[in-house]
Amino acid sequence: MLQAVDWLFIIVYFILSLVIGLVVSGRSGRSSAEFFLSGRNMPWWLLGFSMVATTFATDTPNLVTNMVREHGVAGNWLWWAFLLTGMMTVFIYSRLWRRSGVMTDLEFYELRYSGRTAAFLRGFRAIYLGAFFNVVIMAAVTLGAIKFSSVLFGISPLKTVFFAALITVVYSAVGGLTGVLVTDLFQFVIAMAGSFGVAWYVLGLPQIGSLKNLLLHENVRNSLSILPDFSDTNTLLAVFIIPLAVQWWSVWYPGAEPGGGGYIAQRMLAAKNENHALAATLLFNVAHYALRPWPWIIVALSSMVIYPDLASLAAAFPHIDQNIVKNDLAYPAMLTFLPSGLLGLVVASLFAAYMSTISTHLNWGSSYLVNDFYRRFVRRKAGEKELVLTGRICTILLMTAACFLALVLSNSLQAFNIMLQIGAGTGLLFILRWFWWRINAVSEITAMVISFLVAVYFEFFHLRLGFTALSDWEKLTIGVALTTAGWIVATYLTRPSERETLISFCRLVRPGGPGWREVLKDTAEESGRAGNPRWDMPQNILLMLFGCIAVYSALFATGYWIYASYLPAVILTVTGVISSWSLLKIWRKTNT
């Protein structure tokens, strides 16, 4: 149970968060640009830490725990593979987004495409992503809060969502994006301190004894490999081959969108300039993949000693609804062993993780609903104060819907797989639309419709029609194949965007490359003005490669140092240093 010192940590945290929101409330209310983009004047380090804080939600350690308990440490390749997407965004797309000057990534549609289909796509995606998809994400995060509160406080799911919604909505609606960014930095520090604190204390529990004892325990030693068992074909395909060969470039997933997008694009658009946008996304990817995973992994492995199966979890917490007793419950279960003081810090860190993620999604979702639907199709002459007020109303409605959905979900991995399936096959289009003139609004509509229908079919109809059950990776691969084939066919069967729109896009964004020659070849004057004479894609791909090697080396070297496997640890550490040096050298040369 929480003691006085624990409550002190929690109360101080809430006071500081609310004070920050109130301090910046005057600025955020000036205009929609201030409320949603902080006046486009934010530094790279604040934006980078905000991205990291946003991707650390209450369900994140639960999700990692779920993966480790089911597939071992190698199960994390399900999300580690997205580093390829992240580095592609850093070195290829961050500058393009910042040059576009749009307020949201959905505004891109009427910049890149033309006609009524572009307008329809923008408006529909505003509802689809800003409301439907966004609510699913927030519901999954709120489910994590439900599981933590059920274990630590014995609070019912209904009470949890009520208090979580009340606190977060007030904080999000008052401060706008500036409030989100500033509190994200504070919340990131608290959340990381909590994560490391839990890992450190858990290793000292009598059931564990030490890190060495943990690694030698019979429940754990077969789950330590960073690479999956290559003799287990199904697991190898599910957690390693498909994520690295297909998933990273083909799937739209929040925070790891191929070509950038969502709240990552929102942060890049809020940056002072292109270099700040690039540096922010680089900092995010380094911290997200190299800094954060191992404390969660250590706790997940420790949970396999104390709660080796679901039956032991259910027996330890008989008061919890058995429908939510899944492997992801093991992480909050481990927190019940924490002493007074540390427990308060960890609870505060969990609140910080929850609020940083939810506040970002509320502001991001509201920006879609206000800028890309309300102002574009409902009230084109709406004043700035009206837009800010509408954004605050949307914030309340989004949070309410997310809370209702959270009450029917059962585990974090379920929501993760649903979101992957819905976005399956759309990723390649998001990558190529910047560099291939032929892609049009119908291409995107087709991809969106097919991927959604395939996801609905597998979720609700496949088994009912008597077909054999498929694994998640099989569903994903089929979804990618059908969706990709569908949008490519639609691209060639429909007319491209108007040439004036395409040339205007090239002038503004300067993507360059052979994919625009067809548009720019007719007029030398237009080619000179709209084209990008410096095709820097080869250098950017090389930077992406070195970035991936550097971060993966840091991630895996940390693991091998923890395992006391010194030879691979040293080799990977040296590799990380060399690749980082090479990256910086090429980057500086490219920018001179």
Instruction: Give the per-residue pLDDT at 527.
Output: 47
3-state secondary structure of 2: coil
Contacts of 230 (CB under 8 A, 6+ apart): 236
Instruction: Give the per-residue pLDDT at 129.
Output: 83
Q: What is the mean pLDDT of residues 44-58?
A: 83
* pLDDT value at 492 more than 80: yes
Rounded distance between C-alpha atoms, residue 326 and residue 311, angstroms: 10
Report, in this order, helix, strand and coil percent for the chain, each rounded to 5. 75, 0, 20
Rounded distance between C-alpha atoms, residue 250 and residue 416, angstroms: 15
Instruction: Give the per-residue pLDDT at 31.
Output: 57
* pLDDT value at 267 more than 80: yes
Instruction: Give the per-residue pLDDT at 253.
Output: 72
* pLDDT value at 475 more than 80: yes
Q: Where are the domains of the chain?
A: 4-245+262-409, 541-592
Instruction: Give the per-residue pLDDT at 207.
Output: 92
- The count of other CB atoms within 10 Å of the CB of residue 523 is 11
Q: 221-261, pLDDT tens digit by residue?
A: 999 999 998 888 888 998 899 999 998 998 877 777 888 87
Residue 93: DSSP 8-state: I
Concatenated DSSP letters of 104-120: STTTHHHHHS-HHHHHH
Rounded distance between C-alpha atoms, residue 549 and residue 575, angstroms: 8
Instruction: Give the per-residue pLDDT at 523.
Output: 47
Give the number of residues written for the chain. 592
Instruction: Give the per-residue pLDDT at 39.
Output: 66
E strand spans, 322-403: none
Better-predicted residue by pLDDT, 522 or 556: 556
Better-predicted residue by pLDDT, 528 or 444: 444
Taking alpha carbons only, the member of 61, 164, 127 closest to residue 404 is 164
Q: Residue 54 in contact with residue 234, Cβ under 8 Å?
A: no
List phi, psi (to 5°) of 251.
-115, 135
* pLDDT value at 1 more than 80: no
Instruction: Give the per-residue pLDDT at 19.
Output: 75
**Left, alpha or beta for 229 (phi > 0: left; psi -120 to 50: alpha)?**
beta
Q: 370-380, pLDDT tens digit by residue?
A: 888 998 888 88
Q: What is the mean pLDDT of residues 281-295?
A: 92
4-245+262-409: which CATH topology?
A: Sodium/glucose cotransporter (1.20.1730)
Q: 183-229, pLDDT tens digit by residue?
A: 778 778 888 888 899 999 999 999 999 999 999 999 999 999 999 98
Q: What is the mean pLDDT of residues 83-106?
A: 90
Q: Residue 428 in contact with residue 484, Cβ under 8 Å?
A: yes
Instruction: Give the per-residue pLDDT at 531.
Output: 45
- pLDDT above 70: percentage of residues in the chain: 89
